[in-house]
Amino acid sequence: MAQKFRPYLSAAELKHIILLLRKDASAASLSIAKSLEVFEFKITNDINRPSYIPTPLPTIAQRLELGEGAPVSETAEDKRLRAFAKFTANPSFCSSHEISLAQTYRYTHKLMSTEERNHYEKELFGSPPEPEEPVLS
């Protein structure tokens, strides 16, 4: 038995192939046309559903969420809250960026202890400047 393959054809392309096969009166062409006509009948009567439906790729503008109908992007505060929730659930699943966002959320919402707050401020702002010695002239 010969291997069989199924091409992806639109209903219009299938109909065109059948018309071309019908013009050639050879037995092989008529046999192929007959099996394709059964297939076309099933398609036109919604017995067969498409096995492949091409979906258009999003444009660059859609991927960057530009233009009309673009979804509202998440605010910085929403990102911090989401990172905080993930950090609270399991910090080992967080990236370093998410941990930073979660710590910022904790800092701005006064969820840190005094010691954590001082350490965070030291990391954020650096160590306090050393007092300058007076210059004697």
pLDDT tens column, 63-90: 777 765 545 578 899 999 999 999 999 8
Tell me how far apart the alpha carbons of residues 26 and 52 are, in angstroms, rounded to a whole number.
Answer: 32
Contacts of 29 (CB under 8 A, 6+ apart): 21, 22
pLDDT, tens only, 12-70 = 888 999 999 989 888 988 888 998 898 888 888 888 777 666 777 878 877 777 765 54
CA distances, 108 to each of 11, 89, 118 (Å)? 61, 19, 13
Counts for the chain of helices (H) and strands (E), in that order: 6, 0
Give per-residue pLDDT as tens, 110-131.
Answer: 999 999 999 988 888 886 655 5
Judge residue 105's burial from the number of C-beta atoms within 10 Å of its C-beta, 0-12 exposed, 13-18 middle, 19 or more buried.
Answer: buried
Q: Are 102 and 83 in contact (CB under 8 A)?
A: yes
Q: What is the residue extent of each domain of the chain?
A: 11-44, 73-125
Q: How far apart are CA 117 and CA 21, in angstroms?
A: 81
